[in-house]
Chain A
Amino acid sequence: MSSAEVIAYPLLFLAVFFESFLLVTFLSRPARESRGIRSLQATPRVAIIVPCWNEETTLAGTVESLLALDYPATQLSLILVNDGSTDATPTVVDRYASHPQITALHKENGGKYTAMNLGLAHAHDAEFVGFLDADSYVAPDALKEIIAAFSVPDVMAVTASMSIHEPRTFIQRMQYAEYTFAIMLRHILSSLNGLYVTPGPFSFYRREVFTKLGLFKHAYLAEDMEMAMRIQRAGHQIGNAMRARVYTKGPPTFPKLIKQRVRWTTGFLRNLLFEYRDLIGARHNRVLGSFVLPLAIVAIGGGILLFVVSGIDLIQQGWHAYTLAQVAPLSYAFAWRPFSWFYLPITMIILLGSVVITTTLTWMYLGKNLSRTPGRLVPNVVFYLALYWFVAPIWLIRSLSDVARGVATPWR
């Protein structure tokens, strides 16, 4: 057995186990009920805060999508916070300053969390407060779906279903498929209160969360994860509104994607390991403490290890094949050989890997359809399968290295 196989077998078993857990939980009553249509009993006062820094090209679209929300205008206010932008963002913000639903604020640049906190200070009359990144857009019915998900009293935060807005590049298409899987993951894990992040695009909180648990922190540039972990530590629930659709601009290039994911992954690792280590193994939330968080760490470590060992293995095999091909004329290496079932490369790893990939693709299909996310999945899945296996380990390796060396992660 090669060293790659030694690592691959337990990881594959864990992957099969995780996928099976997702399936069982998907079919369990809490997930089934959360997929049901919830009717909105009331329309409480809601404030949506849009922190923005140099978002001149996307901000107007974000605001327009919020103004188009199917929600009583008297109950909905928008707070735009310009966090010391150096482009034309302040002009775009001021253009909306006279709108009756909008509060326009400007401040010195201090980081996203400071902009969010300033917005919170102006949202004192709202029962629910939501946030939307200034490069994201919402579907008209998204807010009603979100507010309906707060019908469970102990749910302190609700996340939406994110997808990539108009994917164009290979990297964005890959992310489109990835996000449809994340939609399912968030839906299923939220049914057992297993979420550890309330993403920037359209996550909502009961206003009392901030009076009880405090305002946003720098949190290693992952204030959304830190707040979610704080809510979980306090023993509350984080829900999910599967049909609340929000579309976000995915990084279009490989370097930008790596930068974003390194920020996310280092933010997760630093918050969890340095600030919220007690959540691992926490008895009050065993789903998160004994399953989700340990598996997330194993996935990072195992993913890196498998990538490195398989990479070395692949290079060695490639070199071996190359040296063999040098021995005889190249035409012999590529000569046609009659097909025989005998030589079909069917191994345990290939079969188990196929099971995991097929299940993941099924989740993507379900995620897209159950959330009613627009777009075409199949062509984007092709990019996902072609790119993800070697793109993801790169940001994982970089993140682990940054955390181990104590390197600060920049926002952009």
Chain B
Amino acid sequence: MSLFTRNLLIALGISIVLVGTVALAITYLNNTRLENISTIADQIAIDTLSLDTQFSLLETAPCESATSSATLISSLTDLGNRLAYTENQLGSDNSQVVRLKQQYSLLEIRDYLITKQLAAACKTKPVTVLYFYSNAGDCSDCDKAGYALSYLRKTYPSIRVYSFDYNLDLGALKTLIGISKVKDTFPAFIINGTHYYGFTTLEDLEKQFPKGALSTTTQNK
């Protein structure tokens, strides 16, 4: 074997090992990210169940549960951000991403229901936004709408935003879409029960919120 051929083969071996190591490192990192999301989701599931149970236990004074509910939405937001980042990295058709999105959507629906129950029991008026987007290439303004909602959520912490992938294969989500009568026109919003479709500007979106809802105080939590 000539020196050239020998060197080529060794170089090929080194390259394969090197690229393989990098691929393994990236896979490990992505798995760690997924595990991190899964851990947060599990914790939120426990917190949700705990809140639900608390709510049932404190039938005479259910408003005691309100503080826990405020912490939950913050965790849900963090989970949603991490999930969106991971979806961007691994692709929306990644099976683990899809499974975590299903889990996340269920947690959102559960929190939404508890919030409604608490609002009725405690006579509060929380501002809730159900936001439906699509990743199927039929929503050119969804990124802008998502960004605007992130800004509103950051600026007005009392707003509770629940984001849903309209096309996600999840029974509970389909039921929510069905009973809420959300059309497949994106982006779609239900702001305190009022339907709103499309996105133009932040100002137009803000006009859809109830008067006084966009304040930096957190009295309606």
**Which bucket holds chain B's interface residue count?**
20 to 34
Q: Is the CB of A324 within 8 A of B3?
A: no
Bound-state Cα–Cα, A332 to B153, Å: 12
Closest to A325 in B: B147
Within 8 A of B (CB), among A12-62: 13, 16-18, 20-21, 23-25, 28-30
Would you give the shortest CB distance from A236 to chain B, in whole angstroms?
A: 17
Q: Does B7 contact A (CB under 8 A)?
A: yes
- Point out residues on A near B: beta carbons under 8 Å: 13, 16-18, 20-21, 23-25, 28-30, 192, 286-287, 291, 320, 323-324, 327-329, 332, 335, 342-343, 346-348, 351-352, 355
Q: Is the CB of B85 within 8 A of A343?
A: yes
A324 and B12 in contact, given A13-B19, A342-B33 (Cβ under 8 angstroms): no
6 contacts between A and B (CB under 8 A): A20-B15, A24-B10, A286-B2, A342-B36, A343-B85, A348-B26
Q: Across the interface, which residues of A come within 8 angstroms of B26, CB to CB?
A: 346-348, 351
Bound-state Cα–Cα, A111 to B197, Å: 72
Q: Across the interface, which residues of B come within 8 angstroms of A351, CB to CB?
A: 22, 25-26
Within 8 A of A (CB), among B153-189: 154-155
Within 8 A of A (CB), among B9-32: 10-12, 14-15, 18-19, 22-23, 25-26, 29
A24 and B11 in contact, given A332-B151, A332-B154, A348-B22 (Cβ under 8 angstroms): yes
Q: Does B58 contact A (CB under 8 A)?
A: no
Q: Across the interface, which residues of B come within 8 angstroms of A327, CB to CB?
A: 144, 147-148, 151, 201-202
- Indicate with 1 or 0, residue by residue over B131-155, a CB within 8 angstroms of chain A CB atoms: 0000000000001100110010011
Bound-state Cα–Cα, A151 to B23, Å: 46
Closest to B29 in A: A346
Bound-state Cα–Cα, A5 to B202, Å: 34
Bound-state Cα–Cα, A355 to B23, Å: 13
- Point out residues on B near A: beta carbons under 8 Å: 2-4, 7-8, 10-12, 14-15, 18-19, 22-23, 25-26, 29, 33, 36, 82, 85, 89, 143-144, 147-148, 151, 154-155, 201-202
Closest to B3 in A: A28
Closest to B18 in A: A16
Would you give the shortest CB distance from B45 to chain A, in whole angstroms?
A: 20
Q: Is the CB of A13 within 8 A of B7?
A: no
Bound-state Cα–Cα, A196 to B15, Å: 25
Closest to A12 in B: B19
Q: Across the interface, which residues of A come within 8 angstroms of B202, CB to CB?
A: 327-328
A20 and B14 in contact, given A25-B7, A332-B151 (Cβ under 8 angstroms): yes
Would you give the shortest CB distance from B119 to chain A, in whole angstroms?
A: 28
- With A23-B11, A320-B143, A328-B147 given, name 12 new contacts (CB 8 A): A16-B15, A17-B15, A20-B11, A21-B8, A24-B7, A192-B3, A192-B4, A328-B148, A332-B151, A332-B155, A342-B33, A342-B36
Q: Across the interface, which residues of B come within 8 angstroms of A20, CB to CB?
A: 10-12, 14-15, 18
Would you give the shortest CB distance from A6 to chain B, in whole angstroms?
A: 14
Q: Is the CB of A23 within 8 A of B14?
A: yes
Q: Is the CB of A324 within 8 A of B143?
A: yes
Q: Across the interface, which residues of A come within 8 angstroms of B143, CB to CB?
A: 320, 324
Closest to A343 in B: B85
Bound-state Cα–Cα, A352 to B19, Å: 7
Q: Is the CB of B154 within 8 A of A17?
A: no
Q: Across the interface, which residues of B come within 8 angstroms of A343, CB to CB?
A: 85
Q: Across the interface, which residues of A come within 8 angstroms of B7, CB to CB?
A: 21, 24-25, 28, 192
Q: Is the CB of B12 within 8 A of A17?
A: yes
Q: Is the CB of B85 within 8 A of A342?
A: yes
A323 and B144 in contact, given A192-B4, A328-B202, A332-B151 (Cβ under 8 angstroms): yes
Q: Across the interface, which residues of B come within 8 angstroms of A329, CB to CB?
A: 151
10 tightest Cβ-Cβ pairs between the two chains A and B: A328-B151, A21-B11, A20-B11, A20-B14, A17-B15, A24-B7, A351-B22, A16-B15, A24-B10, A324-B147
Bound-state Cα–Cα, A25 to B7, Å: 6
Bound-state Cα–Cα, A327 to B18, Å: 43
